Structures are given as C-alpha cells and as structure tokens.
Structure 1
Amino acid sequence: MNARLLILCPGQGGQHAGMFGLAAGDADGAALLGGLRARTARANPPYGDLAAEVLFANRTAQPLIVTATLAMWEALRKHAPPPALVAGYSIGELAAWGVAGALAPEECVALAHARASLMDRCLAQHPGQSLLAVSGLAPQRAAALAAPHGFHLAIVTGEDSCIIGGPASGGDSAATQLAAAGARITPLPVEIASHTPLMAGAVEPFAQALRASGLRAPDTPVLSGISAARLDSREQAVEHLSRQLSETIVWDECMDACAEASITVALELGPGAALSRMLQARHPAIACRSVADFRSLDGIRAWLRRHCG
C-alpha cells in the first residue's frame, strides 16, 4: 500500500523561543523567513527576540505560529510526497490552507494578524477570558457543569477530554464544580476564549478579510475543524475558517476522519507535538511524529523517506 501523508498544523500552546531554528537551517526555509520578516517588520518582533510575553500574547502568537509552520513546510516539502490531506488545530487551520497551496505565505501571515486583531477586539468587548483543559469527564457533561459559570465547549479532543472557554472570573468556580465531578483541570496559556460565542463578533469581519484575500482552491484537501469534512474550495475555506472562531472544534472527529481517509503517515510541523501525540494515541496504526521530536532536518527527512519511500 502506498504511503498517504497527513500534514498537521498546530495551534497555540507549544510555541517557544527556538521554534524557527530548524527551518532557518534550510536555504528555502530561511528565505521564506527572511521574506516574511521584511514584509511584516512593523507587526512581527524579530524571530530571535521572543520573550514569553511575545510568544503568548494573542496578537503576536497567532502570526508567529503560522510563520513557523509555513517555514517548516518550506524546508521539508521537497523531501516529502504530496500530502493526501492537511489538518490544522485552531489557528493551525489557517496555516493548513497555506500548506495546501491556497494562500501565499505572506498573505497567510497577514490573515493571521487580522484574525488575532479581530479576536482581541472581541476580548476588549468582553474583558477577562480563559481556556481550561478538562479531562476525566465526557465533553458534554463537562460543558453542562461549566455552563452556569459562563463557559462553553471550545474543543473536543476525546471521549473524556475537552477544552472549555469563558470568563476568567468564572474559572475558579467552574474548576471547583468540575473537580467535584472527578475531572482534572489545567488552565491554558491562552488569553482568548477561542471557539466560543465570545468570539462571535469576529466571524463576519474575518470572512470579509478572507473574501478580499487571494485565497484560492487548495492543491490538497483541508479538514474542517468544526465538521471534520474534507474541504476543497475557496467558498468552503471562507465559511469554515470564519465560523470556527466562535464554534466548537471537533478535533476527535478530525482525527477519526484522517484514519477513514486511509492516512498512513502523519507529520506535525510544530511548534509543539500535541497533535501527533493525540493522533498516535487514538489511531496507533498511523506513524506519527512532530518535527519537535527531531534534532535536525536530516533526521526528519530520513524519517519521511523511511515511511513514505
């Protein structure tokens, strides 16, 4: 059976100061980073000057993550077979459309800036937001217990794990009630309640930004985070990328859709390795790694050759 490659594009949470290092060691990756730096110098900090407040502030984290993801793909794509599918988690879904050839890198990063700005505007209207990772309870049960405290189901990651988002002022009381029901709760280093109704005000403005962009049909199908459907048109990209700002991401269904598409190999472009680890745990027959697992580009390329031929 021929290898079928899935490319995974991460969301926020795994970013770190050295996340551009591997891609910068490749001529193509370095050229892309240099070009993006020149075009976005006013909006992006230097890639070598990434303090924690820059890495995790929403307005800079989103474009930096997209930049790192696209640069890594640029460094690797000549050494990989054409992907059968691309999937992205939260902001990673925007990067996924760039990896799939539907957006030029500079426009993809510009849209990441626009997305972050629109979400920050929603935060200003509803100050003090938070995301909590919940495990040990069915997602719908967790959502029902947290709802009286203003929380909504943001991302479903498994049968007994999810992320909820809502007002920071209700976080302690929601966590107490969830813990009493047997759940484990971990606050996430994200200041925006993404994928909840608190972001509804950003949906149509972001759809307008997408329509005004050079977005086109992708070369490779992209999974929708809110439906796990395979998307292959500009119109679908506009609808799903905008709607996911305020709707629940069904990442568990996305992982199952990858298995149903007969994916045999999955590579997460980083930063971080959360997506590859979740997929490996849920579908162990798929060979999964993240670029974060390797010390060199040669190591990643050798792994791709071994599993993809």
Structure 2
Amino acid sequence: MTLAILCSGQGRQHREMFALTGDAPEAAHLFAHAATLLGGRDPRDFVRSEPDEALHRNRASQILCTLQALAAMAALKGAIPHGAINAGYSVGEVAAWGAGVFEATVTLDLVARRAEAMDAATRAGDGLIFVRGLSRGDVDRLCRRFGAAIAIINPGDAFVIGGSRGALNAIAASARATHAAMVVDLPVEVASHTERLVEASAAFREVLRSAQVTFPPAAGARIVSGIDGATVVSAEIGLDKLAAQISQTVQWANCLEGCFEAGATTFLELGPGQALSKMVAYIEPGFPARSLDDFRSLEGVRGWIARHLGA
C-alpha cells in the first residue's frame, strides 16, 4: 500500500487555508520564515485580511500555497509512510521537492525566487484560462490561431492555456462558440508553463545551482516530474526539468498516471483546494483520494491515512 502526496498549485487560496496547519507546532518555524518573505506579515493573518487581489498576486500566492504543503508535511510527518510518492501541480512541484530533497525553509526561499523570475519575464496582461470539453486537436488549433499555448494538460479533455489577455479572450470566445463544457478565467497573472517564460526558466535554473539537495530523497520519497510524469532518478536531470517546467507544458494527466504506475493506492492532496484529489477520483473512482480541506482536524487526516494504508 503506497501513499501519493499531491501538492496543489496556486489559484485555490482561501481565507481558511491554514485552518488545520496554522496551529501545528511542527510547522511554526515555517510560518515564521514565510512571514519574512511576505514583508513581515504572518501568513495566517495575510490570508484572512488581505483583499482577494493580494491573495492571488503571483509571488504571494506561490509562497502561500507552498507553505501550506510544507506545513502539512511537517504536521503529518509521523503519519506519512516511507516511500511516499510526491507530485506537484505547477508551483506545487517545488513543494513536492521539499519532501526530502530540499530543506523546507530553503524550499520557501526557492519559491520566492521562482516567482520573482517569472514576474520579471512576464508581459503586462499575461495570464491563464481553463477550458474543458474540447479535444486536444481543437485546443491546439485555437492556440496556433491566436498565438497562445497549452500550459497544463489535465485528465478528461481539460486544459489550462496561457498567453496574452487578447489571445485568451479570443480563445475563450471561440471555445464557448464551439460548445466547450467550461471556460474559466483563472486568477493567475503570468502565462505559466509557456515559452513566454523561457527567460524565467533560465534564471531559476541558475538559482537552483546553489541549492543544497539530498538525493536520493530522505525517507525513500519518490518525486514525479511535471513535464513528463516520470520519476526523478537524478538530482541534476530533475533540477533541469524543475526549471524547464516554468516554460514548458505540465503533463499533469501523465503525472497522475505515473503515480499509479509507481504503485500509489491512496492519494492525499495537501491543498489549498480539492482540484487534484477530484482528478484522481475522475480517473479511478475506486481509489481513496482526499484533500486536507476535506478534514476538520489533523488527527482525522492521520486516521484516514492509517485506515487506507493498513497501518
């Protein structure tokens, strides 16, 4: 029985995202460190009091979402078994590397640098939209027509598309006209995982050169690469992919398949949000898949893990 840990990306931040992790003593140092990256603001106060716009600003949102994953890992350390599989969606992939490869506070620093590199390479008005219900071929044609690119491929003909605001508006209108099941403007200010951020990939790779890594990962953890769904078997190659991910398509459907192929039988999404655990349920309805947001206490999470892994 094997646990897969899924680290969420930005976009699902909410006021109570630290409800379970915010008071965990094991995570206190992480909240303190994140505050130094947020201008001295305690992250728990930040999410409760800042306007939505601030909550979804690129740098802050990447720090907040990574903090949530790392805080959950710290609080659940005794419950997460040896050999867990770790996969992360977008910035969540950096958090996944915090499960035994990067030290946790270093991971937060790296995410802040990643966001800064992305902001520096971003053109005004860039962003992302979500489209469900069109074929891959149809989405490719729309992207070529309007000068955008597929940023993330999710299960079930679901795509995140990145580009300029003009291109995204045109694609959204065309997708609706061709009866796409869902078209949503995402609260993200950068065209993540497209060639528009190739300079950010290069800058982040330079940052990663000075990062201290533990490889193979501690506690037998396995890391799944976002751009191909393969297990990372070399620190150097894995770091190349982690940097390239900023400007290349994230193959999230392949990542989930990679988790299944590696033997995952139970999936826990660390949040914020429930998007990733719902994707698992879509692919394999019989597999246990939950998000931290589904629980009222960490003790409940620990009990759920123990029940489903036969501990």
Please indicate the TM-score interval, normalised by the length of the shorter structure. Answer: over 0.9
Looking at structure 2, the residues matched to 40 and 187 of structure 1 have their Cα atoms a distance apart, in angstroms, of: 28
Q: What is the alpha-carbon distance in structure 2 between the residues aligned to residue 69 and residue 287 of structure 1?
A: 19
In the aligned structure 2, how far is the partner of 1:190 from the partner of 1:288? Answer: 26
Q: Which moved more, 1:193-202 or 1:211-220?
A: 211-220
Question: What residue number does 1:297 align with?
Answer: 298
Counterparts of 2:169 and 2:198, CA distance in 1: 24
Aligned mates of 1:57, 1:39 — CA distance in 2: 17
CA deviations 1:89-139 (Å, max 9, x no partner) are 00000000002x11111110011011100100111xx22112111111112
Secondary structure in 1 matching 2:203: helix
Q: Which amino acid aligns with 2:87?
A: A
Q: Corresponding residue for 2:184?
A: 186
The answer for unaligned runs of 5 or more in structure 1 is none
Gaps of 5+ in 2: none
TM-score (norm: length of structure 2): 0.92
For the 8 Å contact 2:102–2:213, the answer to whether it is kept is yes
Contact kept in structure 1, 2:127 and 2:186, CA below 8 Å: yes
Cα distance in 2 for partners of 1:113, 1:44 equals 15
Within 5 Å, give how 1:1-309 maps onto structure 2. 3-34=1-32, 36-37=33-34, 39-40=36-37, 42=39, 46-50=43-47, 51=50, 52-99=52-99, 101-123=100-122, 126-183=123-180, 184-217=182-215, 218-219=217-218, 220-308=221-309, 309=311
Shift of residue 299, structure 1, vs aligned partner: 1.1
CA shift for structure 1 position 247: 0.5
Paired with 2:205 and 2:269, the residues of 1 have a C-alpha distance of: 27
Distance in 2 between residues matched to 1:42 and 1:130, nearest whole Å = 25
Q: Report the residue type matching 1:29 in the other structure.
A: A
CA RMSD of aligned residues (A): 1.6
Q: Residue 43 of structure 1: CA displacement?
A: 6.6
User: Runs of 4 or more off by more than 6 Å in structure 1?
Assistant: none
Structure 2 CA distance for aligned equivalents of residues 197 and 108 of structure 1: 24
Deviation at 1:233, TM superposition (A): 2.6
- The TM-score normalised by the length of structure 1 is 0.93
Q: 1:225 to 1:37 in 2, by over 3 A?
A: closer
Distance of 2:198 and 2:239 partners within structure 1: 15
Structure 1 counterpart of 2:23, which letter? G
Residue by residue over 1:153-172, the C-alpha shift from the partner in whole angstroms, topping out at 9 and shown as x without a partner, is 11000242111111002222
